[in-house]
Amino acid sequence: MQIERICVLGAGNMGHQIALSAALGGFKVKCSDVKQEVLQKAEQFADNYLKERVAKGKLSAEAAQTARENISFTADMKEAACDADLVIEAILENLELKRSIFAQLDEICPPHTILATNSSYIVSSKIADATKRPEKVCNMHFFNPVLVMKLVEVVNGPHTAEETAETVRAVAEKMGKIPVMLQKEIYGFLVNRIVSAIRTEALYLLDQGVASYQDIDTAVVNALGHPMGPFRLLDLVGIDLAYEIAMERYRLTGDPAYKPSPFLVEKLVKEEWGRKKGKGFYEYPEK
């Protein structure tokens, strides 16, 4: 099917970058969030980003103007989603909240609308039955920072129609992304399962006092060739998000092995959530 209008729910760090990527890809985009201050920051980011790309010669003034005209911001979810061909949900990693949102979207959106979740770990089969259109529900997982990272994971769940997955893959390509297709669901998909295994072991080594987080990062970068270590990556992704992901899996499984690391809990309580807060495992002075 032809996708022209996209709604992005959630204007946080992931949501507003997904929305801007879609606008740059030529789609008409409405970005929605319940918090007005988050929407204001998202709109300001879009303005600043496009101006900076033009100033650096990375984008023509005409292309920047077109992209800006393609994107709008609203706190009204119904207004944002009522005429969308595709909705990309980018809210908190909380299953019940996502199910509630998808049930509302099912009532708001036209019958043809595809409902995709940007969840980092939660498979869409846990959400699809909250709607009357499970065949039009799938995972479309972007990576942070969205405007830089090319990969998008498209998950073809047991309920997902082949046309749905193929349409979402085509949308990702038009946004300038490199989609990979998962032919079956698995918790955490491809990349995050690999990254999670490294992060879990790194946090275990830190919790046990084997080495400092700086030395663990240094080892991973200089021995494994990663562009950044697991703790620097945690700061980039958001320690609050990593905590929520760990807690969600613990809630789902009841397995204490998935409880968040004591270091993550400490950082969460101190609101040292990484780059967005100016401090996580490392400090990030304001420019």
Amino acid 72: pLDDT:
98
Tell me the C-alpha distance between 84 and 5, whole Å. 5
Residue 240: alpha-carbon gap to chain centroid? 14
**Between residues 136 and 242, the one the model is more confident about:** 136
Is 192 among the residues known to form the active site?
Answer: yes
Q: 0.75 cut: is pTM over it?
A: yes
Looking at 70, 192, 196, 261, which residue is catalytic? 192
Residue 58 near residue 85 (C-beta atoms within 8 A) = no
Number of domains in the chain: 2
Looking at 13, 32, 119, 120, which residue is catalytic? 120
Is 60 among the residues known to form the active site?
Answer: no
For the stretch 57-77, what's the b/e string if a residue is b when 16 or more beta carbons lie within 10 angstroms of its beta carbon? eebeeeebeebbebbbbbeeb
Q: What is the percent of the chain where pLDDT is above 90?
A: 87
CATH number for the domain that contains residue 136: 3.40.50.720
Note whether 29 and 137 are same-domain residues: yes
Is 153 among the residues known to form the active site?
Answer: yes
Task: Indicate the residue among 182, 211, 235 that finishes a domain.
Answer: 182
Residue 184 near residue 156 (C-beta atoms within 8 A) = yes
Q: Answer whether residue 284 is part of any domain.
A: no
pLDDT digits (tens, 9 = 90+) for 55-99: 999 999 999 999 999 999 999 999 999 999 999 999 988 899 999
Task: Indicate the residue among 182, 208, 228 that finishes a domain.
Answer: 182
pLDDT interval class at 246 (50, 70, 90): confident
Note whether 103 and 218 are same-domain residues: no
Amino acid 11: pLDDT:
97
Q: What is the mean pLDDT of residues 190-200?
A: 91
Q: What is the mean pLDDT of the chain?
A: 95
pLDDT interval class at 249 (50, 70, 90): confident
Residue 33 near residue 75 (C-beta atoms within 8 A) = yes
Which among 238, 223, 214, 215 is positioned nearest to 144, based on CA atoms?
A: 238
Residue 286 has pLDDT above 80, yes or no: no
Domain of residue 258 covers 191-277
Is beta strand 151-155 parallel, antiparallel or unpaired with respect to 178-182? Answer: parallel
Looking at 153, 185, 248, 272, which residue is catalytic? 153
Amino acid 112: pLDDT:
98
Is 141 among the residues known to form the active site?
Answer: yes
Is beta strand 137-141 parallel, antiparallel or unpaired with respect to 151-155? Answer: antiparallel
CATH number for the domain that contains residue 218: 1.10.1040.10
Note whether 118 and 256 are same-domain residues: no
Cα–Cα separations (whole angstroms), residue 93 to 89, 112, 241, 244? 11, 26, 8, 6
Residue 38: partners with Cβ closer than 8 Å, 6 or more residues away: 11, 12
Q: What is the mean pLDDT of residues 126-131?
A: 98
Looking at 70, 89, 93, 141, which residue is catalytic? 141
Residue 102 has pLDDT above 60, yes or no: yes
Residue at 208: amino acid letter:
Q
Residue 46: alpha-carbon gap to chain centroid? 17
